[in-house]
């Protein structure tokens, strides 16, 4: 039986799949249009400032080390942050949350936002939900019947928290916390997969468990060190990489040999793994395949507009991760998802890796990754609202930090939904594929395989189980597991 594999895309899902398959004896080649591995996990330099361009928070780093161990690498080098996030509201209320649940509970209690008991009970429930749902909904395929005949699946379904599915995140948090600021603090976790907390299922309230109980980490060499580490592991296991090569089409999918056309020539393999955005695969690479309407028409996740600013001063009150909340959170999400517009009063996320990586900015300076949630680019035309949004952001930060930020920006670049789509083939710049704004969203993500085409598989953030570094790793495990079962000698 032929066990040769082509993986389209060297993102986290593709790297994970290639490592696991190579370790099991498959011959794997990975193609990517970029000059290096990483997908959305890239870095850039502006003068003396270094920036991570994609995800900025790391949880569950042990899963990265486990992949490296398969190739004999040392554990992945990262540190657990002593403070997770600095949070500020428009009325001046601010706090820095500690690195664990007890510290956060104390901070919220002292700020008068929530009692320690309520916070601890909330995390206790979140941890229980994660233990129940992760093995069933995050670490195995939901689209093959044999998954449902496992005892672990049966137990998980029997214990499944139904109320957390039929109640939105916001409604669930409103029933737990009387203070609107506490509600807003916990509602923001919907943005971790590009969703609207006022529509997304309450089950997503288990996300803070990963950040505060399992730990928030940061790689000592920046987030781009994650794909570099996985790339090294893959190479040691014999995976071959073909960079700077754009796939233009995929043919003969119903035959034993899949034909991949690139700008540089033709490649063939028995097994094809797609680590690109699934919408892009069906519409651009394999339009001859049927793309199920339930996936095609599903609401897309939000995108982002990012300002990369080299700042010629430091702000001592800020941490690695910082949140500046809008006054009306519900209105903000309605503007993004319902109206498809940018909010006039956006919630702003500021990531400053120089707080822990001193070489990322000159001494006394900071590298600001400033992100605002915006709608995905449904027109797929170049973005024109950048200058307006920039002014909204600067006005808000000036007001909340009592500064004149425009006088301290010495380097600048941007990233918007149009450039995100251009650089990563993510439809409309959607960061996570389809949103989770439905109680059935876990079942509405594309499977990790194509049931009508033998040898065609999918991995990464736009398919099951979803986006973000841990879920992309889980996706890679699921996909590799399916291939190994289907191609056992």
Q: What is the pLDDT of residue 98?
A: 86
What DSSP assignment string belongs to 425-453?
--GGG-SSSB---STTGGGSSBPSB-TTS
Of 91, 302, 101, 97, the residue nearest 181 (C-alpha):
91
Reported as type and span, the H/E element at residue 344 is: none
Residue 352 DSSP one-character state: -
CA 443 to chain centroid: 18
Both tokens of 378, joined, read: 């449904």
Q: What is the pLDDT of residue 162?
A: 65
Q: What is the pLDDT of residue 156?
A: 61
Q: What is the pLDDT of residue 155?
A: 62
Would you list the domain boundaries of the chain? 4-42+58-72+221-298+435-486
Angular region, 383: left φ>0, alpha ψ -120 to 50, beta rest: beta
Other Cβ atoms within 10 Å of 93 Cβ, number? 14
CATH for the 4-42+58-72+221-298+435-486 domain, from 3.40.50.80, 3.65.10.10, 3.40.830.10, 3.50.50.60:
3.50.50.60
Q: What is the pLDDT of residue 358?
A: 93
Q: What is the pLDDT of residue 296?
A: 79
10-residue stretch averages of pLDDT, the chain, 489 residues long:
90 98 97 95 96 94 98 97 95 92 96 96 92 76 60 61 78 96 97 94 90 94 96 98 96 89 93 95 93 82 97 97 97 96 97 96 98 94 96 98 98 97 93 83 81 94 91 96 88
Rounded-to-integer distance, Cα 474 and Cα 477, Å: 5
Other Cβ atoms within 10 Å of 425 Cβ, number? 21
Start-to-end C-alpha separation, the chain: 7
Rounded-to-integer distance, Cα 199 and Cα 190, Å: 9
Q: What is the pLDDT of residue 255?
A: 83
Rounded-to-integer distance, Cα 103 and Cα 376, Å: 36
- CA triple 284-419-468, angle to 5 deg: 80
How far CA 271 is from CA of 32, 260, 299, 444, 476, in Å, comes to 17, 11, 30, 24, 15
Q: What is the pLDDT of residue 142?
A: 63
Angular region, 127: left φ>0, alpha ψ -120 to 50, beta rest: alpha
Task: Return all residues near 483 (Cβ < 8 A) that are at least 6 apart.
Answer: 5, 17, 21, 26, 271, 273, 457
Q: What is the pLDDT of residue 36?
A: 96
Both tokens of 25, joined, read: 């004896």
């Amino acid at each position: 039986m032929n066990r040769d594999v082509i993986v389209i895309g060297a993102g986290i899902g593709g790297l994970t799949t290639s490592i696991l398959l190579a370790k099991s004896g498959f011959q794997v080649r990975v193609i990517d249009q970029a000059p290096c591995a990483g997908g959305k996990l890239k870095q850039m330099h502006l003068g003396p400032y270094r920036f991570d361009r994609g995800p900025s928070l790391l949880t569950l780093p042990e899963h990265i080390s486990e992949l490296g161990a398969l190739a004999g690498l040392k554990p992945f080098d990262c540190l657990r942050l002593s403070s997770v996030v600095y949070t500020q509201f428009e009325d001046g209320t601010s706090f820095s949350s500690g690195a664990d649940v007890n510290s956060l509970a104390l901070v919220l209690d002292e700020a008068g936002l929530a009692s320690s008991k309520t916070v601890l009970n909330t995390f206790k429930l979140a941890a229980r939900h994660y233990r129940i749902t992760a093995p069933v909904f995050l670490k195995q395929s939901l689209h093959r019947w044999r998954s449902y005949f496992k005892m672990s699946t049966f137990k998980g379904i029997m214990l499944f928290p139904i109320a957390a599915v039929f109640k939105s995140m916001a409604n669930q948090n409103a029933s737990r916390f009387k203070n609107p600021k506490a509600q807003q603090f916990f509602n923001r976790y919907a943005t971790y997969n590009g969703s609207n907390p006022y529509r997304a299922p309450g089950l997503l309230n288990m996300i803070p468990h990963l950040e505060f109980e399992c730990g928030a980490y940061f790689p000592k060499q920046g987030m781009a060190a994650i794909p570099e580490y996985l790339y090294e592991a893959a190479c040691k296991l014999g995976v071959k990489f073909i960079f700077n090569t754009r796939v233009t089409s995929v043919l003969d999918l119903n035959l034993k040999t899949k034909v991949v056309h690139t700008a540089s020539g033709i490649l063939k393999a028995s097994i094809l793994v797609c680590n690109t955005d699934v919408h892009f695969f069906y519409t651009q690479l394999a339009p001859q395949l049927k793309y199920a309407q339930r996936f095609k028409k599903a609401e897309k996740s939000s995108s982002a507009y990012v300002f990369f600013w080299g700042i010629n001063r430091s702000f001592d009150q800020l941490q690695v991760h910082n949140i500046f909340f809008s006054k009306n959170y519900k209105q903000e999400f309605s503007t993004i998802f319902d109206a498809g517009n940018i909010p006039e009063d956006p919630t702003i996320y500021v990531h400053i890796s120089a707080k822990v990586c001193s070489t990322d900015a000159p001494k006394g300076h900071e590298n600001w990754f400033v992100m605002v949630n915006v709608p995905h680019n449904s027109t797929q035309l170049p973005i024109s609202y950048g200058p307006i949004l920039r002014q909204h952001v600067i006005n808000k930060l000036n007001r909340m930090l009592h500064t004149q930020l425009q006088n301290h920006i010495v380097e600048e670049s941007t990233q918007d939904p149009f450039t995100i789509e251009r650089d990563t083939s993510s439809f409309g710049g959607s960061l996570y594929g389809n949103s989770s704004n439905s109680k059935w969203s876990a079942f509405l993500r594309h499977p990790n395989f194509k049931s009508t085409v033998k040898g065609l598989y999918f991995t990464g953030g736009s398919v099951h189980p979803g986006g973000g570094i841990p879920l992309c790793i889980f996706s890679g495990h699921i996909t590799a597991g399916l291939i190994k079962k289907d191609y056992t000698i």
